[in-house]
Amino acid sequence: MSPSNGPNPDNQKTIGKVFSLSGIGIHSGKNCEIIFRPAPADSGIYFIYNGKKFPARADLVSGTSRGTSIAGIQVVEHALAAINGLGIDNIEIEVSSAELPVFDGSALPYLQALKAAGMVELGKQKKYLTINSPIEINDGSGSLKILPFNGFKINFMIEFPYIGRQEFCYSEGFEDQIAPARTFGLFDELEKLKRRGLAKGASLDNALAIGKAGYLNPPRFKDEPVRHKILDLIGDLSLVGRQVKGEIFAKKSGHKLNIELSRRLLALC
């Protein structure tokens, strides 16, 4: 491994040094330590938990309710979005408990820590998945479609009570435009979630709350929820194991549809 003198989009990358973070999970409320380590070319992104090592891959997803779980580890999408947004191809992620830290509810703390560890170029070219024909899925209320495109672009539309319809098109500027967008939820659903054993660690410090009058705490963007949905989708697409080249049109999509698309794309690799 040798330090990169500048960004090269064609070369695989890993981080420059080992580092750790810790924080509470938004659902469990329990503390988790997470250790990131450099990994060699062609090893991909993988997790270590309870002494077991497994790849971050869509066919290992174990749940999509209020976050993406892989092999029993919950809410992996924010960390994966930060890794994807920085173009990191190979990294080891060891966790001490079954839910990753939520921090401020966005991918930004992960991204900042990864950047501080430095980027290292590896002696292999990146692996891409190029979309050659359209793929479309829907579940009756939401839909996802990916089309051939020489690059990567996401067009996302959501519609929620009290905030209405939001749309955003993303193609570049992940760190500034997407990474700071926090997870969000309807305040009047909070007690229901807690009765289900969820949102034990949720607060106005790590989520954007929505009430009948709109946002209950200051948003980072006026359309922060749709940007966070794009963040989630980018994290979920990381489970394909390759950089995807295509244009995505998402309408009211969530983790379930995201993972279904990721599984279909994984089958093409």
Q: Which two tokens stand for residue 187?
A: 């305040």
Alpha-carbon distance of 235 to 85, in angstroms, equals 9
Q: Which two tokens stand for residue 52?
A: 């077991």
Catalytic residue among 27, 78, 228, 255: 255
The structure tokens 């976050």 sit at 67
Instruction: Give, as one character, the DSSP assignment of residue 174.
Output: I
| Residue 268, number of CB atoms within 10 A of its CB | 14
Hey, what amino acid is at 89? D
| Residue 129, number of CB atoms within 10 A of its CB | 17
8 A C-beta contact, residue 44 and residue 55: yes
8 A C-beta contact, residue 179 and residue 231: yes
Does the active-site annotation cover 255? yes
**Which residues carry out catalysis?**
255
